[in-house]
């Protein structure tokens, strides 16, 4: 079984957010700096990000090291900029994120970074695995890395979900669903 990988997708959640949720905390800036160092070794070819500030700042940390511009995509934006813990209440937003996944996997090749927020990433993970996002319970910690090997629309392999090995224990935050 020697499947040819068309696309490596590195899905990351933004770093720890500030108390008001609008930007990154001091810890969040440290987290994304370490994440960027890890991703530099991968050889990222393109970066997609939500245009929300905490995602934008996380993507910029990687962009500075890998030398690629960021493509800001509003379909990666969380509903009204606020965390919504129940994505099933937002079918239009879910469909928008799923369409992003379809566009990404149909046109891209190489190593692609996608930076989003927890609930947006939960929908992307569900789309990648063919799971109903309303039933998805995947959790991604701040600066958590999920890696997929996309072969074709019927085959996607999970390399890791929510990997935090680039962070020392003191910068890891445990999220629960």
Give the C-alpha separation, 101 to 123, whole Å.
Answer: 9
If one counts every other C-beta atom within 10 angstroms of the C-beta of residue 76, the result is: 24
Tokens found for residue 31: 């987290």
pLDDT for the residue 81 = 44
Confidence of residue 34 (pLDDT cuts 50, 70, 90): very high
The mean pLDDT of 27-55, rounded to a whole number, is 96
Whether 116 and 51 have beta carbons less than 8 Å apart is answered as no
Rounded to the nearest 5°, which phi and psi values hold at 146?
-120, 135
Domain map (residue ranges) of the chain? 7-171
Confidence of residue 22 (pLDDT cuts 50, 70, 90): confident
pLDDT for the residue 86 = 60
The mean pLDDT of 15-44, rounded to a whole number, is 95
Whether 79 and 92 have beta carbons less than 8 Å apart is answered as no
pLDDT for the residue 174 = 65
The sign of the torsion formed by the CA atoms of 37, 159, 147, 104 equals positive
Partners of 13 in the beta sheet? 116
Give the C-alpha separation, 160 to 145, whole Å.
Answer: 7
pLDDT for the residue 83 = 41
CA angle 48, 98, 128 (to 5 degrees): 85
> What's the pTM?
0.91
Confidence of residue 177 (pLDDT cuts 50, 70, 90): very low
Rounded to the nearest 5°, which phi and psi values hold at 122?
-60, -40
pLDDT in tens, 118-176: 989 999 999 999 998 888 888 899 999 999 999 988 899 999 999 999 999 999 976 64
CATH for 7-171? Answer: 3.40.50.1240
Residues 6+ apart with CB under 8 A from 22: 53, 54
Confidence of residue 93 (pLDDT cuts 50, 70, 90): confident
pLDDT in tens, 52-90: 999 999 999 999 999 999 999 999 988 654 445 565 567
The mean pLDDT of 21-47, rounded to a whole number, is 96
Tell whether the model's pLDDT for residue 1 goes beyond 70: no
Tokens found for residue 162: 């929510």
Tokens found for residue 116: 């989003």
If one counts every other C-beta atom within 10 angstroms of the C-beta of residue 161, the result is: 16
pLDDT for the residue 18 = 93
């Amino acid at each position: 079984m020697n499947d040819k990988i068309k696309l490596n997708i590195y899905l990351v959640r933004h770093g720890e957010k500030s108390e008001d949720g609008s930007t990154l905390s001091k810890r969040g800036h440290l987290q994304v700096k370490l994440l960027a160092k890890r991703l530099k070794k991968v050889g990222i070819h393109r970066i997609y990000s939500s245009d929300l500030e905490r995602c934008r700042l996380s993507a910029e940390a990687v962009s500075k090291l890998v030398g690629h511009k960021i493509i800001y995509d509003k379909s990666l934006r969380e509903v009204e900029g606020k965390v919504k813990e129940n994505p099933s209440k937002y079918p239009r937003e879910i469909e928008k994120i799923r369409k992003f996944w379809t566009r990404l996997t149909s046109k891209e090749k190489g190593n692609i970074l996608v930076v989003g927020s927890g609930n947006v990433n939960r929908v992307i993970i569900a789309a990648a695995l063919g799971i109903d996002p309303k039933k998805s319970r995947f959790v991604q910690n701040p600066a958590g890395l999920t890696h997929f090997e996309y072969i074709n629309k019927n085959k996607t392999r999970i390399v890791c979900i929510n990997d935090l090995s680039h962070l020392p224990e003191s910068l890891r935050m445990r999220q629960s669903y």
